[in-house]
Amino acid sequence: MSKKTRTYARVLLGALSHASEKEAAGIARRFKFLLQKRGDVRILSAVVREFQRLWEERKGKVASVVSAKELPLGSALEQELKRRGYRPRKEYDKELIGGTAVFLGKSYLVDNSIRGKLQRIQKLVQSL
Amino acid sequence: MAQDHIFDILQKELEGKELSPKGEEVGRIISVGDGVVQIEGLPNAVFSEMVEITRWPGDLNTSATRALVLNLEEYTVGAVVLGEDSKIQEGDLVRRTGKVLSVPVGESLLGRAVNPLGVPLDGKGSIAGKETLPIERPAPGVLDRQSVNTSLATGIKVIDAAIPIGRGQRELIIGDRQIGKTALVEDIILNQLNEPAETRPICVYVAIGQRASKVAQLVGELEERGAMTYTIVVMASASDPASLWFVAPFAGCSMAEYFRDKGKDVLIVYDDLSKHAWAWRQLALLLRRPPGREAYPGDVFYLHSRLLERAAKLSREKGGGSLTALPIVETQLGDVSSYIPTNVISITDGQIYLESDLFSKGQRPAVNIGLSVSRVGSAAQSKAMKKVASQLKLDLAQYQELAAFVQFAQDLDPATKKRIERGSRITELLKQGQFGVLPMEEQVCVLFAANQGVLDETPVEKVRDFEKRLLEYLRNNGKKVLKTIRESKDLSEETQEQLQQLFHGFT
């Protein structure tokens, strides 16, 4: 991702942070014109993706907790993540079979799911 | 031992004892196309690291696709996919392996045809042994080297006499397409059968972007003649992704270095580096690196120099092994002054230039002696060959100077006419069909015969037949002389006299 993309995303974030819903629509339209004027429309999707990431992170980094079944509200895991400054976001995926996997931001995974364990065992067996 | 350890881990896993999950660094695919992926995340990935791309949570039946990290940018990581990229999707999970790209090495690779990642292609089962080496390794330092001092017998008269190659040398083979470059190196590999088993070089043939059928044919021919026992074939075929073309010579070099570091002599052929440069150009452009001359990236010289610098004759303290490199470069319409040929010419210790005109005139191998050179090989040439080659080179040089007058041969003085006739016979004598490699002692005898004027009375068109009969005669009646030359590697005056007597008996 280029610096330009990141700069556009940050500018957009700054403009939208305190805007009302009505103002936001105008800002988005003007932002599109700005990109057109500067000949950068081709990076629009990259800017939007980066903006989404920044928007989600503005109140702290997101930790996605993926589990096979719905976790109880205020679980120990949730509490621990909050204590460490993460904003827990719950997701469900039956494919995990059981257990949970936690994505810390976009660059760290703690996989404690049954499927993850099976995959690790599969890898061990294949390396024999 | 390792199996017991893994068994222990498995048991603990299955018993639920090892339940604590381990965190791992991951990234997500943000774009994929033409064998190149951009990855978000992986903040600590290192250059040349192997990463694994999987769908998450993933299917237990599909294995991960491997990719090689080549671009480390501020927010993203660029990697080339080592395999099929059509199944990779945006959002796929990328895991670090913590290992730089490595390939299997060892004795078990001998006689095998593998892809650049060491995966067997010959249907002879998996590669035994688990030893691996990274594909990018530093070249031996100055103190670890010694001068080239042993010759590498190619079995080809024109090369062994005029452009000798030493073990540890880098000799470029350059020429247009369909001119016999691969045939030449195939002969050189086959000729190693004439070497004693204890000093026979291990051969590694790296095919980059070659047709699979052509490589299969080469493997078949080597196998048929018993040369695969000391040969490894690394193949990135024309249908493989550019990333594998890029990796192939480095992987082959690591496989060869394993033997070099064990004190053995190794010969590696890169067929060919033009296609390797094309692959690197494609990857570099897709990785958005700035293009330079002919759209090649700025580091295309370094790409080949760091590869060829790994060829060396190691010092005794380091085992005395050697790695001889024969890179091949394909020219367009004989243009040796284009970018890649000039780069590789300047990196190597000489070049064997194959010319289309000579090829179409029936000169096989079509070596242009005037443009070919070996900068270090003559130091390693045997005394016997040196003695016959010096006269031969002189005769040839005089012939080439006078060759323009051949059509006016009737009006020339007898001395000039004699030189032209001798030259044309030597030129004919240097023709050699494919698979017609000769051991050093036989080459010496044939060239000595030419120097002594034994061929002068033979019509040019019958020179090759004469040579064939002479060799037959020597094999039957001159076994002792051949043995003396082979063992002493010299052509003493006594041996010269014995040879002259044999020639007399033959004629």
Closest CA to B203 of B263, B154, B268: B268
Alpha-carbon distance of B241 to B354, in angstroms, equals: 29
Query: Is the CB of residue A108 less than 8 Å away from at least one CB of chain B?
Result: yes
Element containing residue B460 per DSSP (H, E): none
Same domain, A101 and A73: yes
User: Distance, in angstroms, between B97 CA and closest chain A CA?
Assistant: 13
Query: Residue B290 gets which letter from DSSP?
Result: P
User: Distance, in angstroms, between B88 CA and closest chain A CA?
Assistant: 18
Show which of A42, A57, A72 is a domain's final residue: A57
**Among A12-21, B237-246, B403-412, B461-470, whose mean pLDDT is lowest?**
B403-412
Asked if A68 and A61 count as a contact pair (C-beta separation under 8 A), the reply is: no
Same domain, A48 and A102: no
Show which of A57, A72, A90 is a domain's final residue: A57
Q: So what's the pLDDT on residue A82? A: 87
Same domain, A15 and A49: yes
Q: Which value, to the nearest 10 degrees, does the dihedral of the CA atoms of residues B455, B458, B463, B467 take? A: -60
- What is the band of B206 on the pLDDT scale with cuts at 50, 70, 90? very high
B471-to-B385, B393, B499 alpha-carbon distances in Å = 17, 22, 12
- What is the band of B409 on the pLDDT scale with cuts at 50, 70, 90? low
Same domain, A82 and A95: yes
Q: What is the mean pLDDT of residues B140-169?
A: 95
**Higher local confidence (pLDDT), B60 or A52:** A52
Alpha-carbon distance of B220 to B213, in angstroms, equals: 10
Q: So what's the pLDDT on residue B408? A: 66
Element containing residue B9 per DSSP (H, E): helix B2-15
Asked if A47 and A12 count as a contact pair (C-beta separation under 8 A), the reply is: yes
Here the tokens at position B65 are: 């696709």
Query: Is the CB of residue A60 less than 8 Å away from at least one CB of chain B?
Result: no
Same domain, A84 and A116: yes
Same domain, A112 and A98: yes
Same domain, A65 and A123: yes
Same domain, A75 and A122: yes
Query: Is the CB of residue B1 less than 8 Å away from at least one CB of chain A?
Result: no
Asked if B491 and B444 count as a contact pair (C-beta separation under 8 A), the reply is: yes
Same domain, A33 and A65: no
Q: How many A-B residue pairs are in contact by the CB < 8 A criterion?
A: 66
**Among A21-35, A58-72, B382-396, whose mean pLDDT is lowest?**
A58-72
Q: What is the mean pLDDT of residues B243-253?
A: 97
Of A6, A110, A124, the CB nearest to B75: A6
Same domain, A65 and A15: no
Q: What are the residues whose beta carbons fall under 8 Å from the beta carbon of B166, sequence distance 6 or more? A: B148, B149, B150, B151, B152, B313, B324, B374, B376, B377, B379, B380
What is the crossing angle of helices B300-308 and B339-347, to 10°?
30
- What is the band of A84 on the pLDDT scale with cuts at 50, 70, 90? confident
Cβ–Cβ gap A3/B58 under 8 Å: no
Residue B176 annotated as binding site? yes
Of B9, B43, B60, the CB nearest to A107: B43
Residue B99 annotated as binding site? no
Q: Where in the sequence is the domain holding A123, given as residue range(s)? A: 61-127
**Among A60-64, B346-350, B485-489, B493-497, whose mean pLDDT is lowest?**
A60-64
- Sequence letter at residue B220: G
- Which chain A residues are closer than 8 Å to B58 by Cβ? 115, 119
What domains, with CATH codes, occur in chain B?
Answer: 16-100 (2.40.30.20), 153-381 (3.40.50.300), 384-506 (1.20.150.20)
- Sequence letter at residue B300: V
Mutate one of A107, A112, A118 to test the B interface: name it (highest B CB count within 10 A). A107
Cβ–Cβ gap B21/A125 under 8 Å: no
Catalytic residue among B66, B200, B375, B486: B375
Beta bridge partners of A77: none
Show which of A38, A57, A76 is a domain's final residue: A57
User: Distance, in angstroms, between A116 CA and closest chain B CA?
Assistant: 7
Q: ∠B98-B104-B106 over CA atoms, to 5°?
A: 140
Q: So what's the pLDDT on residue B75? A: 80
Q: So what's the pLDDT on residue B144? A: 96
**Among A42-56, B37-51, B432-446, whose mean pLDDT is lowest?**
A42-56
- 10 Å Cβ neighbour count for A123? 12
Cβ–Cβ gap A115/B30 under 8 Å: no
Alpha-carbon distance of A86 to A65, in angstroms, equals: 11
Query: Is the CB of residue B21 less than 8 Å away from at least one CB of chain A?
Result: yes
Cβ–Cβ gap A115/B58 under 8 Å: yes
Bond before B365 cis per omega within 30 degrees: yes
SS3 B63: coil
Cβ–Cβ gap A110/B6 under 8 Å: no
Is B375 designated active site?
yes
Q: What is the mean pLDDT of residues A2-27?
A: 87
| pLDDT at residue B347 is higher than 70 | yes
- Sequence letter at residue B307: L
**Higher local confidence (pLDDT), B3 or B430:** B430
Same domain, A48 and A77: no
Burial B76-104 (b: 16+ CB within 10 A, else e): bbbbbbbbebeebeeebbbbbeeebbbbb
Alpha-carbon distance of B429 to B475, in angstroms, equals: 18
Asked if B304 and B138 count as a contact pair (C-beta separation under 8 A), the reply is: no
| pLDDT at residue B13 is higher than 70 | no
% of chain A beyond a pLDDT of 70: 98
| pLDDT at residue B17 is higher than 60 | no
| pLDDT at residue B6 is higher than 70 | no
Asked if B392 and B406 count as a contact pair (C-beta separation under 8 A), the reply is: no
Closest CA to B188 of B225, B154, B149: B154
Same domain, A75 and A37: no
Residues B93-123: pLDDT tens digits? 999 999 999 999 999 999 999 999 999 999 9
Cβ–Cβ gap A117/B13 under 8 Å: yes
Query: Residue A108 gets which letter from DSSP?
Result: E
Task: Count up the domains in chain A and report the number.
Answer: 2
Asked if B407 and B177 count as a contact pair (C-beta separation under 8 A), the reply is: no
Query: What value does the CA radius of gyration of chain A take, rounded to a whole number of Å?
Result: 20
Of A96, A107, A119, the CB nearest to B26: A107
Here the tokens at position B1 are: 């031992």
Burial A84-106 (b: 16+ CB within 10 A, else e): eebebeeeeeeebeebbbbbbbb
Alpha-carbon distance of B321 to B370, in angstroms, equals: 32
Q: How many helices (H) and strands (E) does chain B have?
A: 15, 16
Interface of B with A in 56-115 (CB under 8 A): 57-58, 60, 73-76, 93
Asked if B116 and B248 count as a contact pair (C-beta separation under 8 A), the reply is: yes
pTM of the entire structure?
0.87
